[in-house]
Amino acid sequence: MRPAFAMALCLLSACTSTPQPLAISCIAVRPAAPVLPVVPPRGIYVQAQALLARDKLQAAYARQLEALLDACM
């Protein structure tokens, strides 16, 4: 009767042969947000260039944040 009790105690205390996954907290430094160029008040071509540059900087920043998040999982 003692071996059955020991087996039941082992099962109740989560005594298994497979290791359980450990939750590891992610420690990462958040990258600084990019400094976006100012859109000039005049000149449609210059404004378009500034807006495209802003979009590229914001997209690159978003990719950096996503890479940090993916590394934590």
Q: pLDDT tens across 49-59, in order?
A: 999 999 999 99
pTM: 0.58
Higher pLDDT, 19 or 68: 68
CA pair distance 53, 34, nearest whole angstrom: 11
Res 18: pLDDT: 61
Instruction: Give 3-45 pLDDT, tens digit per residue.
Output: 665 555 555 555 555 656 555 567 667 888 888 888 888 899 9
63 pLDDT more than 90: yes
